[in-house]
Chains A and B, each alone.
Chain A
Amino acid sequence: MKRLGLWAMALLLGLLVAVPVFAQEIKVGVPLAMTGPYTDTGDNYWKGIKMAIDEINEAGGLLKKKLVPVRFDTQEFAPERVMQGADYLCGQEKVMSVHAGWAGWGQDIRAYGKYDAPFFADDGSQAAVDVFKENPADFANIFQLTDTGINQAASMFRVLMALPYEYPNKKVVIIHADDAWGQEVGDTLEKNFKEKGWEVALKEKVPYGTREWGPILTTIRKINPAIIHVEIVSAQEVITFFRQFMKAPTSSILSYGYSIVPREVVETMGKEADGLIGEVPTAMPTPKAPTPEAQAWVDKFEKIYGHRPQAGSWAAYSGVKAWAAAVAAVGDETKLKEVNQYIATQGYKGETGMWKWDAEHVMRAGGDVPIGHYQVQDGEMVTIYTDPPTKPYLDFKFIKPRWIK
């Protein structure tokens, strides 16, 4: 009897898969990491996507139809998983667009390129762009919301060189994660520094999950570099690094690149993080937005979620809005090719200005959508530069970190 009961439970678990169906609706695919180490990044995108969908539905829907998100858990972007997601969302559920955030480094392009529904990603990967270039006609539905890692790294370098600060020496230490993103950024930075006559005294690739930095810090203290760049997009690695660094800090600018973006970094450390610098591509500058519309968006986001927008939220939001604008213009959400054509040629008018995708369907940094460079000041991220072109943002200033003597 007991066994039967347990069996009944197992069966019940299996039946947890009823999906309700409405008459007038448009399905929107949302494949994000909902489990595993990238869950927090996935959350960032979801906040932006949800905000856009709610906004559209509150305003009476898209072409008077209700937008319904269909979620899929991409876990850790294993190629097979990504492909399954594409088959599920585009093949089975027949969604009219897909909003994926960080979704891989090329496997996502192949998986979704097979279908025609517009696919918005935030890969930041040259490898993904290379896949696109193999067959631009087939992959016409792919839209990258951010520039590549190579361009982002170049931008980080330009801003580091532009800081109103005199470096005591020309030595740099680069620490990056052993994933495709970390490798791309690490290699580009190394190249840039070397070209400028800097000495890359240490370039270290570290696995995710590294939380004991003693051995590396010992070496760093011996080198005493002018810049330490850390590129690991995960909070606990960069926080532990900072705390252990601060035990006996060297006079180095601590540059975190995209590692600054997990919300947990500033949320966990607060004012302790003051002085750190980093970047966000396709960024909504804060605390003061560049336009009144943008300011309104930031205020609304803060009202809903209780904190400043995170990296990715705005990009993902804009992806949904760009697609919705195209559908409204075409007048039929099922004319996928026309919608893609519209997005590629017409772009989208967003809160900060015009979004224009280039021939490779990448939202290149610059113009109205530059890369934002931040410094943590008073426990919050403050935009101090935008790039390209490299220029200080409004009257926010770089402050020399407290640990530099």
Chain B
Amino acid sequence: MEVIDVIISGMINGSVYALMAVGLTLVYGVSKVFNFAYGSFYSLGGYLAFSILSFKIFGGYVTVLVLAVPALLLFGYVVERAIVAPLRRWSSWEVKVMMLTLGLALLMDNLFQITYGARVKSLPVIVEGSLTVGPVIVSWQDIAIFVLSVSGMFAFRWVLNNTWVGLAVQAVAQNPNGAQIVGIPRDKIFAATFAISTVMVGLGGILLSQKYFVSPNQGWDILVKAWVITAFGGMGSIRGSLYAAFIMGMLEAFVGWMFGLTWVQFALFGVLLATLAIRPQGLMGKWG
């Protein structure tokens, strides 16, 4: 019966990883921007939720979603337009973007620390209690996390395949020049995808914060995980990231259970390196 526990734990983590990895891979696939501040955006989501909830206003998490999603969207858009986009005209701008976002991460993490203090912040649970089916116990909290991340992903897929913006995003990812020729405002799409990915990782931060708390330096862990997953799945491949997220979630749960938590990191990187050695483009990757 323990196995079922482990599988459930893997599925729940996998679902959140998927949400966050897809955001990272989307931006890389569309605009070749590798965002080192991705983990700090996760923390931003957590701190936003914390700040909004601390006013104890009507609606709880619903209000958080209503307020935080537009705020994250705006934040992502502004960051892209103001500091990432200007770098594109320089030579080897990809490295410069990495450096810039690394600086942004440092700045944001320490802003959090100064504003909110070094201590962890705890958030109220989304739903209380747990569901017991025979020997298996799953908290409603975990179920809510799973449902919300999976539906977030479906919503994202729907937007991507059924709207003009979604189509434009795919077009830019597949051929930026072609996209420009047909009249897609490429720069705006770059900024839009950056904004969408900010929302995705920020949502991840909101969902996980009441389980894992909010603290200023927590983002690095998230960044590395999302990064490993996107590379494993193939950078720029959304479907690849989805599968990879669940595989890595399971792997993490099983390795932790069978060999101990210290081995989790070795296992994740080991699997990644082995995959890249055989398939340099990742599971279903396109070349980037």
Q: Give A residues with C-beta under 8 Å from B.
A: 35-37, 39-40, 43, 178, 204-207, 209-212, 214-216, 218-219, 221-222, 235-236, 239-240, 243, 247-248, 262-264, 267-268
Question: 8 new A-B pairs (CB below 8 Å) besides A215-B255, A218-B257?
Answer: A40-B118, A204-B260, A211-B212, A215-B256, A218-B6, A219-B2, A247-B130, A247-B139
Q: What B residues does A219 contact at CB under 8 A?
A: 2, 257
What are 28 sample pairs from A and B whose C-beta atoms fall under 8 A apart?
A39-B113, A40-B119, A204-B262, A206-B260, A206-B262, A207-B262, A209-B218, A211-B211, A212-B13, A212-B252, A212-B256, A214-B5, A214-B253, A215-B256, A215-B257, A216-B256, A218-B6, A218-B9, A219-B2, A219-B257, A222-B2, A236-B212, A236-B213, A240-B213, A247-B137, A248-B137, A264-B120, A268-B213
Chief secondary structure at chain A's binding surface? helix
Option from B120, B261, B262, B265 in Cβ contact (under 8 Å) with A236: B120
Asked if B110 lies at the interface with its beta carbon under 8 angstroms from chain A, I say yes
- Is B122 a contact partner of A239 (Cβ separation < 8 A)? yes
Docked pose: A204 CA to B259 CA in angstroms: 10
Docked pose: A212 CA to B213 CA in angstroms: 11
Residue ID in chain B nearest A209 by CB atoms: B221
A35-B110, A248-B137 given as contacts; is B213 within 8 A of A215 (CB)? no
Q: What B residues does A207 contact at CB under 8 A?
A: 261-262, 265
**Interface code B109-151, partner A: CB below 8 Å = 1, 0 otherwise?**
0100100001110100000001000000101000000000000
- Is B118 a contact partner of A39 (Cβ separation < 8 A)? yes
Asked if B215 lies at the interface with its beta carbon under 8 angstroms from chain A, I say yes
Q: Give B residues with C-beta under 8 Å from A.
A: 2, 5-6, 9, 13, 110, 113, 118-120, 122, 130, 137, 139, 211-213, 215, 217-218, 221, 252-257, 260-262, 265
Q: What B residues does A36 contact at CB under 8 A?
A: 217
- Is B9 a contact partner of A215 (Cβ separation < 8 A)? yes
- Is B5 a contact partner of A218 (Cβ separation < 8 A)? yes
Q: What B residues does A268 contact at CB under 8 A?
A: 120, 122, 213
Q: What A residues does B110 contact at CB under 8 A?
A: 35
Q: What B residues does A239 contact at CB under 8 A?
A: 120, 122, 213
A216-B256, A247-B137 given as contacts; is B113 within 8 A of A240 (CB)? no
Q: Give the top 9 A-B pairs by smallest Cβ distance, nearest first.
A: A215-B256, A39-B118, A214-B9, A215-B257, A211-B212, A236-B120, A206-B261, A218-B2, A264-B119
